[in-house]
Structure 1
Amino acid sequence: MPVILPGETELYALTDSRLSLGRPLEEVVRALLGAGIRIIQYREKRKKGGEMLEECRLMRRLCDEYGACLMVDDHVDLAMICRADGVHIGQEDIPLPDVRALTGPGMCLGLSTHSPEQAREAVRLGADYIGVGPVFATQTKEDVVAPVGFEYLDWVAANISLPFVAIGGIKEHNIGDVARHGARCCALVSELVGASDIAAKVEAVRAAMRAGMTRG
């Protein structure tokens, strides 16, 4: 199945077992996919490699079942072993050209960016999409950079042709503002995986984002 890119779907979900109310990964991921999420990233920072691999394989099976795109955060080896659709890397991870050399041309590569210079470099290096953020302050990631606010988001929307996903502190109450500043895909972590009713939360977040688009 073709890779789904940001902009081809509105919401991009990320996993985080610490925020999932103690529920098993399969329950959380199945709820997200059943609610219409079409891009989901495996992001776990404090687990052993073997456990992460088994969880990635589980998510591969679930994404195949629902026709969704599986991205893996940082871990190129896990992505390749479990046949993920892509890898998302940060500015301090393995450089994108080296990741591409490992994965070959068929895997989608996303790169986090925090400034116009980084966005231009991502285009030059051949990223398939970029992450733009953190838009707001976030506690879901350690060693996170300072929020970039709407100024950088506005710049990307006006100047970068690559697909992009806005990320960082995005919630139901502010996603409409993010959409009004040009985001056509938003990544959420705690707002989705930490919801008591994931399907209802996905529906509410999607409605809030679409309302923001119509007012943008």
Structure 2
Amino acid sequence: MIEKRSKVDFRLNAIVDGSLRDRGNLADLAALAARNGATLIQYRDKEASTRDLIGEALAIRAALAGTGAPLIVNDRVDVALAVGAAGVHLGREDMDPAMARRILGPDALIGATVKNAADAEAALAAPVDYVCVGGVFATLSKRNPDPPLGLEGFARLRALFAEARPELPVGAIAGIDAARAGEVLRAGASGVAVISGIFRAPEIAAAAARMRRIVDQALAERGS
């Protein structure tokens, strides 16, 4: 029996990707998003060395001090452990969540990517604190060999969690901008994971604040 967990606020997961360095210092970008509504910061960098990942994650963690937004490291359990991050986000080819839980301990936040029904079944049996379903829409932020799920595909996977683990936050990711955030919330999302919709906007602070308002309004309208 998986213990019930509701220790993560997934309303607005701002993903600070290594590709955003042209927009500024990653730690500064993370802090800007957190100060303007992001409830969770995820650091993702597919190209950096382990040493550079640790250095960047330490800088981001320091920049988030006092914001209330925890830092999650994408993929790398070792980096999350080394820098004292709040947790880790795992894809289908990453470390098994149960093993990550043994390494990081009971208080760590562990999230999982869900792309299809098989992923959903695996996540339902795993000690995860949230899942992120996607990609819902097409995105330029990450190469994705799988076709977009669309709102109907997202809703089908969301329903599996609503029935089996209703307390589990289920986020939506990929191609989510201000217009689409309300759509995925109305389809049952607990929140949204965003890269370009915040960090590629002309005004990052304003984009984060607007996205947070949209999410909060949609959740209030459905009584969540």
Provide TM-score, normalisation by structure 1. Answer: 0.88
Task: Label 1:143 to 1:158 Cα distance change in 2 as closer, same or farther (>3 A).
Answer: closer
- AA aligned opposite 1:127: V
Quote the offset at 1:47 in angstroms: 1.4
1:174: which partner in 2? Answer: 180
1:200: which partner in 2? Answer: 206
Quote the offset at 1:173 in angstroms: 1.9
Provide TM-score, normalisation by structure 2. Answer: 0.86
1:59: which partner in 2? Answer: 60
1:41: which partner in 2? Answer: 42
- After TM superposition, the structure 1 = structure 2 runs for residues 118-137 of structure 1, keeping only pairs within 5 Å, are 118-137=119-138
- After TM superposition, the structure 1 = structure 2 runs for residues 34-113 of structure 1, keeping only pairs within 5 Å, are 34-113=35-114
Task: Label 1:144 to 1:193 Cα distance change in 2 as closer, same or farther (>3 A).
Answer: farther
- Larger mean CA deviation between 46-55 and 144-153 belongs to 144-153
Quote the offset at 1:9 in angstroms: 4.7
Aligned partners of 1:71 and 1:84 also within 8 Å: yes
Task: Label 1:67 to 1:210 Cα distance change in 2 as closer, same or farther (>3 A).
Answer: closer
Q: Secondary structure at the match of 2:178?
A: coil
Q: Secondary structure at the match of 1:131?
A: strand
Aligned partners of 1:113 and 1:131 also within 8 Å: yes
Task: Label 1:81 to 1:186 Cα distance change in 2 as closer, same or farther (>3 A).
Answer: same
Cα distance in 1, alignment partners of residues 88 and 150 from structure 2? 25
Q: How many residues align?
A: 212
Quote the offset at 1:134 in angstroms: 0.6
Cα distance in 1, alignment partners of residues 97 and 10 from structure 2? 24
Aligned partners of 1:4 and 1:68 also within 8 Å: no
Cα distance in 2, alignment partners of residues 72 and 158 from structure 1? 27
Aligned partners of 1:168 and 1:187 also within 8 Å: yes
1:116: which partner in 2? Answer: 117
What are the ranges of 5 or more consecutive residues in structure 2 without an aligned counterpart? 1-5
Post-superposition CA distance 1:140-179 (Å, at most 9, x none): 1234422111223213433312211111111112111111
Quote the offset at 1:212 in angstroms: 4.4
- AA aligned opposite 2:104: T
Q: Secondary structure at the match of 1:173?
A: helix
Aligned partners of 1:176 and 1:213 also within 8 Å: no
Aligned partners of 1:111 and 1:131 also within 8 Å: yes
- Larger mean CA deviation between 11-20 and 160-169 belongs to 11-20
Cα distance in 2, alignment partners of residues 53 and 4 from structure 1? 25
- AA aligned opposite 1:193: F
Q: Secondary structure at the match of 1:66?
A: coil
